[in-house]
Amino acid sequence: MAIFLTADSKVIVQGITGSEGTKHTRRMVASGTNVVGGVNPKKAGTDVDGIPVFATVAEAMEKTGADVSVVFVPPAFAKAAVVEAIDAGIGLAVVITEGIPVQDSAWFWTYSRGKGTRIIGPNCPGLISPGASNAGIIPATIAPTPGRIGLVSKSGTLTYQMMYELREFGFSTAIGIGGDPVIGT
């Protein structure tokens, strides 16, 4: 039983046109994730490998039905990106960005309370439900099969190591929650 991320999840990528956003979007798509759009206000109307880029999270959600956002924006813009996702009503915001000022993380985490957006991260590898979806930077090759184990880890590298060590059992969902002092879920 996967949690938070299933085969039915529709994922958008905030910062899809940046080098990290593009690279990891390609990896997510290759592992079967339904990436339905990206967000970059300056590049709206373009696409990345056929994935449309929208000006705002709200527009991307309206046009695609997205319910998950993966945030790949620089630390200086991360707070605004997460707040935009919260204001749009996204169900799950996976904040990959590291180096976000603690004050910014504390602010957007508090802001999210009671608004319906679950936050994973910041400074996290994301989450994966093998055989269903992958939102973040977790290499799909280390968790190739679904199974009964659920994994939650604070360390990105140790998330990968535990997935590798327990690979023969498979995973329902593995979540790297992030290593910063203030994290979401």
Taking only the tens place, the pLDDT of each residue in 5-46 is: 999 999 999 999 999 999 999 999 999 999 999 999 999 999
- What's residue 47's pLDDT? 97
> In which band, very low, low, confident or very high, does the pLDDT at 113 lie, cut at 50, 70 and 90?
very high
> In which band, very low, low, confident or very high, does the pLDDT at 114 lie, cut at 50, 70 and 90?
very high
Average pLDDT of the chain is 94
- What's residue 141's pLDDT? 86
**DSSP states of 10-72:** -EEEETTTSHHHHHHHHHHHHTT--EEEEE-GGGTT-EETTEEEESSHHHHHHHH---EEEE-
- Percent above pLDDT 70 for the chain: 99
pLDDT higher than threshold 90 for residue 144: no
- What's residue 127's pLDDT? 95
- What's residue 155's pLDDT? 86
- Mean pLDDT over residues 125-137, rounded? 95
